[in-house]
Every structure is written in structure tokens, then in C-alpha cells.
């Protein structure tokens, strides 16, 4: 690894920490944050950990006008033997660079990003929550900071990592969620930005999300942008179906997000010798399976949501109640195993977790 120096400025005012058992998703932030700047010609520089604070940006900064930004989401977990574990962080930083590519943002050294993250978590280690179902959500993101109103890739950026102790993403927790199948709006088309983690994908999902939540649904299920026939993903999760014993998930087709939890679930199922297939699957097929009594389970997967059982789909004015609205056996087993591995309570045959060492080496203070 090349020499990477991080300047550290400790916060003098420690914030009050919330009770672990009262945590929701994404409302509370820790005492510090990581920042690094990019300037064309100089590359990434000035890596620093500073007290968590607002950032001052020129109102002409390109992020505000053309949305040139990418982000990631990953988690750290507190274990019973007082270790802090990260789940597949290398995957997230790799995907950050894939998103950077799509958005014409310069690559970040993935090892440096991981080193910075471990350093930051170490400083804010006491913020990793301990209660059942909680974790430290990590949000790395890059924004275009050059003040310029022309439409072009920016020449200046900031890479920032913030940390948030969280509870479950959905108010339902591990209870099944109700999902409306979106028939009017689309999330992404092939050739678009659907595979990138960029804010615009989420901004354009809000309208459909708003309508569905007014009707009592937690999220929408997106269909393909061309024929509105084939299943893509759920608002903030990839989606899986168990039909007649076989697990099926939409194949990565150029408009679906390549979820880290998605690929972990596929690997886990293969490890258990459960048939799991990545292929194109239509809503018609789901309905047929439902009518034939073969739609046994459905669940979403994502870092924020972990495994979220789906108890109902609403499509073409009809409800499909899955497994009588209860969490399926396989969904529960996947949830228990994945969270067990993440928290170091179950053996990790895949080497997915890595420890944030208590005294991670600090390059520069």
C-alpha cells in the first residue's frame, strides 16, 4: 500500500449518545467524519478526520445543479466479545469506484478508503450500538464541489464518510412488509444509471414511493423500464422469490443494482445446496405461481434492510398475500445466518467479515 496520511483533529465536544434500543435509521450521527479533497492535476489529497460538522460549499457547486454524486452503504457490528466487525467493506469500495466510473468521478484508492474508514470507526468506536438489531451504518459519498454551471465532469470533488448508529430500516423490523408493484413510473433503463449508486436514482423514485405509502405500502417493486413487465428491484433492496422450492432473483441486466447482500445471499444459498437462479422473471410468472399456490416466500435484501420478508404484493388491483403474511422459514434462516455472521456469532466460512482492530495504526496526527 502506498503511504497514506490522515490528519486527525479530535472533537472537543462529545455528543450525547442515544439509547441503543431507541435507534431508528439514519437520524443520529457520530462525533467525527472523514473528508478528502480532489483537485484535477493533484488527485486526491488532504485526507483528514475532523469533528462532525456542516460543510460549506459554494452555491454554484456542481453537485447542487447536475447531481454528480455517488454513495455507498455498509455496516459495522459490535460483537459479544467486544470486537467491531465490518461486513465485506472491500465490495462496497469497489462498487463505489464502479459508480464513480459511470458518473465520470475520479477513482478513489480502495485500500486507502478502507484504511480511512477503520481509522474513523476506531475514533468513534463507542458509537457502535450494542442492542439486538442495531449496527453502525456507514455512508461514504462523493460530491462534485467545483463552482461551475456548465454541464461537464467537475474538476473538484470531496469524498466524505459519515457514521450513523441505526436500528431497523423499516418500522416493521423483521416483520413482513407490504409492497406495491409500480405500474406508472420506472426506476431505470438499460444504459441509464440503474447499476450505479447515485442520488438521482433515489430522487426519481420518490414520487412512486410517496403514492404507494399513501396507500399503506412500505416500498414499490420496480418493473423494467421498457415493457413494465419484468421485475427489477424494490425501492432500497434487491428482491428474491421462492417458487416451488427454487429461489429466483432477477439477473443483473444493466439496470439493477449489484447488491452486496444480494450476492451474499446467493452464495449462502449455494453453500446450502438450495437451488438459486438468476434470471429474467415477470410479474405474470409471479402471479401464475401465486395462483397455483407455488409462491412460497418473497424477501428483499439490502445493507440497510438486511433481509426483509415480503408479506404482500399489490399488482393490477389485486393483492397477493404471501405465506399468509408471515415471515417464511427460509427468509428467517437467511436473516439469522447473515446477521449471525455479521455479528461474529456464527462461523464465517466465506471470510466476509473483517475486524476493526482496536489500535489501528495512525499515520499522522
Using CB under 6 A as the binding rule, whether residue 302 contacts ligand COI is answered as: yes
Q: Please, what is the minimum distance in Å from the beta carbon of residue 15 to ligand COI? A: 23
Residue number, 127 or 290, with CB nearest to ligand COI: 127
Total residues binding ligand COI (CB under 6 A): 6
Using CB under 6 A as the binding rule, whether residue 73 contacts ligand COI is answered as: yes
Cβ-Cβ contacts under 8 Å for 188 (sequence gap 6 or more): 194, 195, 201, 222, 225, 232, 255, 256
Using CB under 6 A as the binding rule, whether residue 309 contacts ligand COI is answered as: no
* CA angle 24–27–28, rounded 5-degree value: 100
E strands, the chain, where? 7-8, 32-39, 43-51, 69-71, 74-78, 84-87, 135-144, 156-166, 177-181, 219-223, 231-234, 238-243, 246-250, 276-279, 295-302, 306-315, 318-321, 353-355
Residue number, 323 or 331, with CB nearest to ligand COI: 331
* Euclidean distance between CA atoms 278 and 142, whole angstroms: 31
Contact map string, positions 4 to 43, toward ligand COI, x by CB under 6 A: ----------------------------------------
* CB-nearest residue to ligand COI: 73
Using CB under 6 A, which of the segments 115-123, 296-304, 310-318, 324-332 binds ligand COI?
A: 296-304
Using CB under 6 A, which of the segments 57-65, 224-232, 238-246, 300-308 binds ligand COI?
A: 300-308
Q: Please, what is the minimum distance in Å from the beta carbon of residue 4 to ligand COI? A: 25
* CA angle 243–244–248, rounded 5-degree value: 35
Using CB under 6 A, which of the segments 39-47, 58-66, 142-150, 302-310 binds ligand COI?
A: 302-310
Residue number, 63 or 243, with CB nearest to ligand COI: 63
* Euclidean distance between CA atoms 320 and 285, whole angstroms: 13
Name the residue with cell 435484501: 301
Using CB under 6 A, which of the segments 6-14, 29-37, 109-117, 299-307 binds ligand COI?
A: 299-307
Using CB under 6 A as the binding rule, whether residue 165 contacts ligand COI is answered as: no
User: Given candidates 100, 303, 308, 327, which one binds ligand COI under the rule CB under 6 A?
Assistant: 303
* Euclidean distance between CA atoms 93 and 25, whole angstroms: 22
Q: What is the maximal distance between C-alpha atoms in the chain?
A: 65
E strands, 202-348, where? 219-223, 231-234, 238-243, 246-250, 276-279, 295-302, 306-315, 318-321
Using CB under 6 A as the binding rule, whether residue 201 contacts ligand COI is answered as: no
Q: Please, what is the minimum distance in Å from the beta carbon of residue 360 to ligand COI? A: 23
Strand partners, 277: 248
Name the residue with cell 445471499: 265
Q: What is the dihedral of CA 197, 201, 202, 205, to 10 degrees?
A: -150
Using CB under 6 A as the binding rule, whether residue 236 contacts ligand COI is answered as: yes
Using CB under 6 A as the binding rule, whether residue 198 contacts ligand COI is answered as: no
User: Given candidates 221, 234, 256, 304, which one binds ligand COI under the rule CB under 6 A?
Assistant: 304
Residue number, 302 or 344, with CB nearest to ligand COI: 302
- Name the residues that contact ligand COI, by CB under 6 A: 73, 202, 236, 302-304
Amino acid at each position: 500500500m502506498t503511504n497514506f496520511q490522515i490528519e486527525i483533529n479530535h472533537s472537543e465536544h462529545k455528543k450525547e449518545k442515544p439509547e441503543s434500543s431507541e435507534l431508528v435509521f439514519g437520524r443520529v450521527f457520530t462525533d467525527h467524519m472523514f473528508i478528502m479533497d480532489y483537485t484535477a492535476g493533484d488527485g486526491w489529497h488532504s485526507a483528514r478526520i475532523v469533528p462532525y460538522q456542516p460543510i460549506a460549499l459554494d452555491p454554484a457547486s456542481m453537485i447542487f445543479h447536475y447531481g454528480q454524486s455517488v454513495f455507498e452503504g455498509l455496516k459495522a457490528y459490535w460483537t459479544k466479545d467486544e470486537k467491531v466487525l465490518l461486513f465485506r467493506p472491500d465490495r462496497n469500495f469497489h462498487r463505489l469506484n464502479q459508480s464513480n466510473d459511470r458518473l465520470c468521478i475520479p477513482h478513489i484508492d480502495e485500500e486507502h478508503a478502507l484504511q480511512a474508514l477503520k481509522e474513523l470507526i476506531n475514533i468513534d468506536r463507542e458509537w457502535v450500538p450494542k442492542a439486538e438489531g442495531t449496527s453502525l451504518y456507514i455512508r461514504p459519498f462523493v460530491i462534485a464541489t467545483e463552482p461551475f454551471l456548465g454541464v461537464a465532469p467537475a474538476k473538484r470533488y470531496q469524498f466524505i464518510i459519515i457514521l450513523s448508529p441505526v436500528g431497523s430500516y423499516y418500522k416493521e423490523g423483521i416483520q413482513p412488509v407490504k409492497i406495491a408493484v409500480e405500474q406508472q413510473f420506472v426506476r431505470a433503463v438499460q444504459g441509464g444509471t440503474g447499476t450505479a449508486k447515485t442520488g438521482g436514482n433515489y430522487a426519481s423514485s420518490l414520487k412512486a414511493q410517496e403514492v404507494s405509502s399513501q396507500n399503506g405500502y412500505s416500498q414499490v417493486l420496480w418493473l423494467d423500464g421498457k415493457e413494465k413487465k419484468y421485475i427489477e428491484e424494490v425501492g432500497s433492496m434487491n428482491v428474491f422469490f421462492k417458487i416451488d422450492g427454487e429461489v429466483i432473483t432477477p439477473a443483473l441486466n444493466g439496470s439493477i443494482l449489484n447488491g452486496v447482500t444480494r450476492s451474499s445471499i446467493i452464495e449462502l444459498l449455494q453453500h446450502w445446496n438450495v437451488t438459486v437462479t438468476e434470471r429474467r422473471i415477470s410479474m405474470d410468472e409471479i402471479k401464475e405461481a401465486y395462483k397455483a399456490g407455488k409462491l412460497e416466500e418473497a424477501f428483499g435484501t439490502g445493507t440497510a434492510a438486511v433481509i426483509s420478508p415480503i408479506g404482500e404484493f399489490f399488482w393490477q388491483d389485486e393483492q397477493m398475500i404471501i405465506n399468509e403474511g408471515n415471515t417464511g422459514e427460509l427468509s428467517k434462516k437467511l436473516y439469522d445466518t447473515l446477521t449471525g455472521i455479521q455479528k461474529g456469532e456464527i462461523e464465517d466460512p466465506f471470510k466476509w467479515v473483517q475486524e476493526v482492530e482496536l489500535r489501528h495504526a495512525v499515520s499522522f496526527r
